Amino acid sequence: MPTTPEPAQEAPPQPRRNEPAPEGEARNLSATSPKISRSFKFDEEQILRAETAVLRTSAFDGGYRSMAALMNSALARELERLAREFNDGEPFPPNTGEYRTGRPIGR
């Protein structure tokens, strides 16, 4: 008895990107980039607004599914702005020493 070929299966949908690059700006972030943990204190109002934005936009293209995705994208945009403004558009050279920790002196 001849067998009928199974219907072709559709490819699974590609996951939606959480971190759309702003128009005209290249992104050097990679999904395989190592992740590290840091502790920072943020203004409470900013965090509450960010959490609300993630909750309200996660289902839409251009929205973010997590706070980490939002923070990484926002940080990348700000670093690009700082490089344009203070370093002729070039990325800053890597830090060769330790980053200062603790409270700022003289403020």
The CB density around residue 64, as the number of other CB atoms within 10 Å, is 23
Rounded distance, CA 56 to CA 53, Å? Answer: 5
Tell whether the model's pLDDT for residue 48 goes beyond 80. yes
Pick from 86, 88, 58, 84: nearest CA to 70: 58
pTM > 0.85: yes or no: no
Tens digits of per-residue pLDDT, 57-107? Answer: 999 999 999 999 999 999 999 999 999 999 999 999 998 887 777 777 665
Name the pLDDT band for 28 (thresholds 50, 70, 90).
very low
Rounded distance, CA 69 to CA 81, Å? Answer: 19
Given a contact cutoff of 8 angstroms between Cβ atoms, the answer to whether 29 and 19 are in contact is yes
Name the pLDDT band for 21 (thresholds 50, 70, 90).
very low
Secondary structure (DSSP) of 63-75: --SSHHHHHHHHH
